[in-house]
Amino acid sequence: MSETVPTSWLVYCRPGFESDALAEMQHHAKQHEVSCEPAKGEGWVSLTRLDKEPINDLHRKAAFKQLIFARQSLAALPALTLSRDDRLTAILDQVKSSRWSFEEIWHETPDTNDGKALAGLIKALTKPLQSMLKKRGALRGKAGARRLHIFWTDGDRVQLGMSFPDNRSELINGIRRLRFPSRAPSRSTLKLEEAWHEFIPREEWDARLADHMQAADLGAAPGGWTWQLVQRGMYVYAIDNGPMDKQLMATGQIDHLKEDGFTWEPPQRMDWLVCDIVDKPVRVLAMVERWLTRKWCREAIFNLKLPMKKRWDEVDRCISTLEDTLEAAGVRATITCRHLYHDREEVTVHVRLAH
């Protein structure tokens, strides 16, 4: 049997953002001078090398941590069409011909109703497939922490992908599901909580999200993001002409100033700036740049609301502008941007100034 090599780069994304994820992938492929054929379905996109060479080098260079619209990033084998009478043999044969070995198997689906409807079928096949792959030596104890992803797009259609430590999401389907806290004033609170999980290692929370810190929340009302800051024990300047949640204000940890978030200046340097203002990205970016170039905060998390079309182009332009502005001002910083699960028509940006 000839060896089957991973020629495709497979990425999961939010349904409706396939063109944006694909545009981002094509940007990286062009940077690394790799010619590819694009493909997409609901909740996923892929690039396949035209020369049929392995995709591994591009997959590694376009690191998952750099990507904005990708929920998961895999080096993938050609898609398989399965017999409904025997779904396992084709999968086993392709694993054998790939000569892959791995420590885990994850069954995943697109984030759609059709994808969720496959749960029963996947459950029925999981243990038999795992047992067979163990017997064949592909699933074993020590395999460099590699993981086999079996991506089901239909009951008879799968694509096998491999992920590698430090270049993947460690979440099933790349989705972080959080429980909405009933006392929070709005569901937007989950966006800031997810951002902390995404951008700040859990072991650093006590130092970087500490109870002695001060924060500014621009466009705070009714207080979804302020609530998260208060839960960490911070004192918050909540800047918004609108009303704040009464229970939240009763904590005594908030100074609600009915001012314009675009023009307000802090009385001293803040530990955190957060902002979820609904406005044009260019306007929000200009405001945040003022804070960062003047070093009014140590870290910032803010959302950029995106246009309906060419969202990747807009994000790329915004992040490039921010990088250029900080460099021109002599401000050293780490900038990260992600389209989070709890985001909708927006992306979340994290900036941490160098000490």
Please report, in range form, the residues annotated as the binding site.
188, 221-224, 240, 260, 276
Residue 165 identity (one-letter amino acid): P
In 3D, which of 231, 239, 183 has the Cα closest to residue 210? 231
Q: Which helix (H) or strand (E) holds 236?
A: strand 235-239
CA distances from residue 209 to 90, 206, 220, 248, 292 in whole angstroms, order as listed? 49, 6, 18, 19, 19
| CA-to-CA dists, residue 58 to 11, 47, 73, 173, angstroms | 13, 10, 11, 21
List Cα–Cα distances, 319 to 184, 271, 278, 291, in angstroms. Answer: 31, 22, 18, 16
**3-state secondary structure string across 271-294:** EEEEECCCCCHHHHHHHHHHHHHC
Q: Give SS3 for 223.
A: coil
Can 135 be counted among the known catalytic residues?
no
Tokens of 133: 């792959």
Cβ pair 5, 16 in contact under 8 A: no
| Structure token pair of residue 177 | 């599901």
* Cβ 102 vs Cβ 138: under 8 Å: yes
Radius of gyration of the chain (CA): 23
Q: Provide CB contacts within 8 A for 239, sequence distance 6+.
A: 216, 217, 218, 219, 220, 257, 259, 260, 261, 264
Binding-site sequence positions for S-adenosyl-L-methionine: 188, 221-224, 240, 260, 276
Of 246, 295, 305, 310, the active-site residue reads 305
Known catalytic residues?
Answer: 305
